[in-house]
Structure 1
Amino acid sequence: MKKHLFTLLFIVAASFAAKAQIGTGRYYIGGSLNYNYDGYGYTNTYSYAAGTTVYTNHGISNLQINPDFGMFLSKNWAIGIQPGYSRTGGTETSVYTALAGSGTTSYTYDRKYHTDALSLGIHFRYYCMLNDRIGIFPQFGVTEANDINNFKSGSISVGGNPNIVFFATKKLAVNLGFGNILYTHDYQTKANSFNIGLNTNIGFGVNYYWGKQ
């Protein structure tokens, strides 16, 4: 409900704005702030001769700060580069249950963690203006991220998400992104993951547009 109200307020505010300035010969600069939270996380179970360990990673939060710079290739298509910083944190819980007569002891262990990463991505946008001030654009691209403390630890991601854009003036616009479709490959573990969702990821960005049309 709050998200829908937030969107409605932006639409009302944008109704008084000037005509959007997009298209060939235009550039944009700005940035976005994204926050994602997964309370449930994921669980893995490992069985051994002496007992079983249930490993849970939960309360996972991710904050991303991404400045960006782009240019329009045509009336609707734009390409941009996006360096970024992110922090991911959560709680790891290990519950070991010993089998009778194994000579081991059951235990529960909790550990809070966080990791910081730098990233660099390239993205594409397709602008579809609903009127002179309000539009939507899907943004999709490729991003490589590396752990600040260990650059051998990193990942490459391919994905995208829908965005709503509101032009407050001819040159200043606010973006509201929600949801994502994301495929990620981890360099260190060689693991692959695929995520899709519309409710867990919310992004907010501002862009300044300039150039000749």
Structure 2
Amino acid sequence: MKKQLLTLVAICAITIGANAQTEKGDNLIGGSIGFSHNKQEPLNSTNTFSTGNSKSYNIAPRFGHFFGKNLALGLQIGYGGNKAESQSTYFLGSGSPQFINSVSKSHSFNVVPYLRYYVDIVDKFKFFGQANVGMAFGKSTYNLMLSGNYVTETTHYKNTNYQASIDPGFAFFPTKKWAVELSFPLLAYSKQNIKDDGVNLNSQALSNETFIFGFSSFTPGIGVNLHF
């Protein structure tokens, strides 16, 4: 009898320990930070070759509050930037080489409210589904330089992006307060509007929509959350 009672107490302790991180009234804070660099160089060249490089970064802290057991409502605020440079050289017959250089810079803010629900799997492991609806806005500058006829153009753009997505994932709780997450996009929609300043004839305002479903563009993300 005493052994059965101890077993029951142990099972209850494991259950409470596994669920304590996502109980009503709890909070979570976390976020992500990223950096990428891409460089392009020609392997050989005859009449033309191009080089270029780009760098981008982003940071996105988030906060959530549990309004019910395993149910959290939160907000993510992010900032990101990008810089891309390219140089192209053209040799036309026996004439002098022609150079085309371009530099683009951009930065944007985004605000994304989200709703997340956890499902217990086993001790320390949970599955979650997350729905996001938000918007991003920013500015960019594009510089174009042509050495042949010394043409230089600078165009300023304003960007607005509306987005919605569903991102499921798994959370591992090595301790009661810390969770390591692996998430992946399942369903995503975005609409982007790009307005130019109208100064240059080569600039163009754009509007495009993107819809993604399934794992054809599988890009998992890893994050860490503190539950308290």
TM-score range, shorter chain: 0.5 to 0.7
Other-structure match for 1:139:
130
Matched residue, 1:201:
219
User: Who is 2:29 aligned against?
Assistant: 29
Check the 8 A contact 2:139/2:158 in 1, yes or no.
no
Q: CA deviation at 1:115?
A: 2.8
Structure 2 CA distance for aligned equivalents of residues 141 and 205 of structure 1: 16
* Partner secondary structure for residue 167 of structure 2: strand
Matches within 5 A, 1:1-213: 19-20=18-19, 21-33=21-33, 64-87=58-81, 113=104, 115-149=106-140, 152-188=158-194, 189-198=206-215, 199-210=217-228
Q: Provide the rounded CA distance (Å) in 2 between the counterparts of 1:36 and 1:164.
A: 25
8 Å Cα contact 1:158/1:182 also seen in 2: yes
> Alpha-carbon deviations, 1:101-155, whole Å to 9, x = none?
xxxxxx9x78574532111110010101102310111111112111145784211
In 1, Cα distance between equivalents of 2:104 and 2:131: 29
CA gap 1:141/1:36 in 2 versus in 1, 3 angstroms: farther
Structure 1 residues 197 and 110: CA distance shift in structure 2, 3 A:
farther
For the 8 Å contact 1:137–1:164, the answer to whether it is kept is yes
Looking at structure 2, the residues matched to 34 and 74 of structure 1 have their Cα atoms a distance apart, in angstroms, of 31
8 A Cα contact 1:160 1:181, kept in partner: yes
Distance in 2 (alpha carbons) for counterparts of 1:114 and 1:89: 5
Are the equivalent residues in 2 in contact too, given 1:34–1:202 (CA < 8 A)? no
**Which amino acid is the alignment partner of residue 79 of structure 1?**
L
Mapped partners of 2:56, 2:164: distance in 1: 17
Query: Displacement, 1:203?
Result: 1.1
Distance 1:155 1:196 in 2: 19
Instruction: Calculate percent identity across the aligned residue pairs.
Output: 28
Kindly tell me the number of residue pairs found equivalent between the two proteins: 165
Which residue identity does 2:124 align to in structure 1? Answer: R
Q: Contact conserved, 2:22 with 2:71, CA < 8 A, in 1?
A: no
Q: Which moved more, 1:66-75 or 1:82-91?
A: 82-91
Mark the runs of 5 or more structure 1 residues left unpaired by the alignment.
1-17, 38-58, 93-106
CA drift of 1:76 comes to 2.2
Secondary structure of the 2:184 match is: strand
RMSD: 3.6
Q: 1:153 to 1:137 in 2, by over 3 A?
A: same
Bigger-Rg structure (1/2): 2
- 1:166–1:36 distance in 2 versus 1, CA, 3 Å: farther
TM score, norm. by length of structure 1: 0.62
RCO comparison, higher one (Cα < 8 Å, 6+): 1
